[in-house]
Amino acid sequence: MNEPKRGRGQFDGWSKSSLKSLLEGCSWQWALQRLGGLEGGSSPHSAAGTGLHAAIEWHEQCRIDGKDTPDKASLIWAAHEEGLADGANIPPNLEAFHGGADLAGQWAAELADTWWESDIRQTLLEYTPLAVEPHYEVSVFRDRPNLRGYLDWVGRDADGVATVVDYKSASNVKRWSDANYHLVEAAVYLYLVSTDEQFEDEPVRMEWHVIARDGETTILRGPTMNPDLSYFLFQRLDEAQAIMDAGSYTQNTSWGLCSPRWCNFYHGCQTSGILGPDHISFDSPAPASLPAGRGAGEVERVHPPDAAPSPAKPNV
Ligand code: SF4
């Protein structure tokens, strides 16, 4: 079921993170990464999350395979090692603000410790895992890129209801008190899973398991797949495709993550301008210029200049 993950600069389908960053974050940053192939870089926060995910994935794969689950010390060590390894991707400018790989490994270990001791691990143990990190890819509109994604966990809850669980690492649990703020994510994941024949004609619901660095945890229960959520997803896909077809990527300086602390392109985009629209055009065949070391031709055009947005034709 798993397939190789695509890299940056290789846009060939819509994913949860692609839709969220294009529609809810900064579409200029999205284009720099997904079309220009520039590295957005990591942070200790995301690398620690990678470590935690890897540790829980190992735990749950053991349950699927009928093997003994790792003990607490092994699980924490695994999280630390994965966080450390992913921390190697933290660029120096972001490391200067936040810290580097060592901090990522430390945070990953602490998150795994919190998860191990939490009620949410006990809840997960009452559930039945069917797949960890399954990859789904489906055609939603016949003439557009596919919708795809890797899901953290798919299985059945204690009542046997088909459930998607997504693990979240966070500084605190405040952002995770209202599922309405996370509908794009829920819509993408539930749509993908509902195309799986093993869940045909049964409700599939969404749940987030949040582990915070301040030691708190919470489970946020999300929606069950329904026609309104499908329609919401089609609308978001339409909006994203319209931006892409028009090449109308814009700098979103009012976004909370538009800061030298969080955006690896901040200097080029906001200070020198070398990564700004005066130097790069994503709606012309070749951008005016790119940073040293990259040729103009490396910015990939995904649609021809005269491609018009297509009418919505969902395959459902
Ligand atoms: S610096 Fe701000 S406007 Fe520029 S790409 Fe980053 S988030 Fe977007």
pLDDT of residue 299: 31
Is residue 57 assigned to a domain? yes
262 CA → ligand 1 middle, Å: 9
Residue in 20, 33, 258 to alter for ligand 1 test, most ligand atoms within 8 A of Cβ: 258
Residue in 8, 269, 272 to alter for ligand 1 test, most ligand atoms within 8 A of Cβ: 269
Q: Which atom of ligand 1 is nearest to 25's Cα?
A: 7
- Residue 295, pLDDT above cutoff 50: no
pLDDT of residue 10: 61
Residue in 22, 93, 262, 270 to alter for ligand 1 test, most ligand atoms within 8 A of Cβ: 270
* Tens-place pLDDT, residues 88-108: 999 998 999 999 999 999 999
- How many Cβ atoms from other residues are within 10 Å of residue 176's Cβ? 20
Is residue 49 assigned to a domain? yes
- Enumerate residues lining ligand 1, CB below 6 A: 26, 28-29, 251-253, 255, 258, 263, 265-266, 269-270
Kindly state the tokens that stand for 111: 């998150």
Cα separation, 86 vs 49, in Å, equals 10
Looking at every residue in the chain, the average pLDDT score rounds to: 87
Q: Which atom of ligand 1 is nearest to 266's Cα?
A: 1
29 CA → ligand 1 middle, Å: 6
Closest residue to atom 2 of ligand 1, CA basis: 258
Residue 221: which H helix or E strand, with range?
strand 217-224
- Residue 3, pLDDT above cutoff 50: no
Is residue 189 assigned to a domain? no
Give how many domains the chain has, as a whole number. 1
- Residue 309, pLDDT above cutoff 70: no
Apex CA 94: angle with CA 102 and CA 278, to 5°? Answer: 160
- How many Cβ atoms from other residues are within 10 Å of residue 250's Cβ? 11
Predicted model pTM: 0.86
- Residue 306, pLDDT above cutoff 60: no
Q: Which atom of ligand 1 is nearest to 263's Cα?
A: 6
Q: Helix, strand or coil for residue 176?
A: helix
Provide the domain limits for residue 110. 41-117
Kindly state the tokens that stand for 56: 């829980």
* Tens-place pLDDT, residues 115-161: 999 999 999 999 999 999 999 999 998 889 999 999 999 999 999 99
Closest residue to atom 3 of ligand 1, CA basis: 251
Q: Using N-to-C axis directions, what is the helix angle for 227-246 and 16-24, rounded to 10°?
A: 70
List alpha helices for 225-315, DSSP H: 227-246, 266
143 CA → ligand 1 middle, Å: 31
Give the residue, 9 or 68, on which the prediction is more confident: 68
Which residues neighbour 142 within 8 Å (Cβ) at sequence distance 6 or greater?
Answer: 313, 315
Q: Which atom of ligand 1 is nearest to 270's Cα?
A: 1
Residue 209 phi/psi, 5° resolution?
A: -105, 110
Residue 245 phi/psi, 5° resolution?
A: -65, -35
Q: Which atom of ligand 1 is nearest to 32's Cα?
A: 5
* Tens-place pLDDT, residues 211-224: 999 999 999 999 99
Closest residue to atom 1 of ligand 1, CA basis: 266
84 CA → ligand 1 middle, Å: 27
Residues pairing with 48 in the sheet: none
Is residue 74 assigned to a domain? yes
Is residue 207 assigned to a domain? no
Is residue 201 assigned to a domain? no
Q: Is the distance from CB of 181 to CB of 171 less than 8 angstroms? A: no
Is residue 288 assigned to a domain? no
Closest residue to atom 5 of ligand 1, CA basis: 29
List alpha helices for 127-268, DSSP H: 183-194, 227-246, 266
In percent, the amount of the chain with pLDDT more than 70 equals 86
- How many Cβ atoms from other residues are within 10 Å of residue 114's Cβ? 20
Q: Which atom of ligand 1 is nearest to 252's Cα?
A: 3
Is residue 26 assigned to a domain? no
- How many Cβ atoms from other residues are within 10 Å of residue 125's Cβ? 14
260 CA → ligand 1 middle, Å: 9
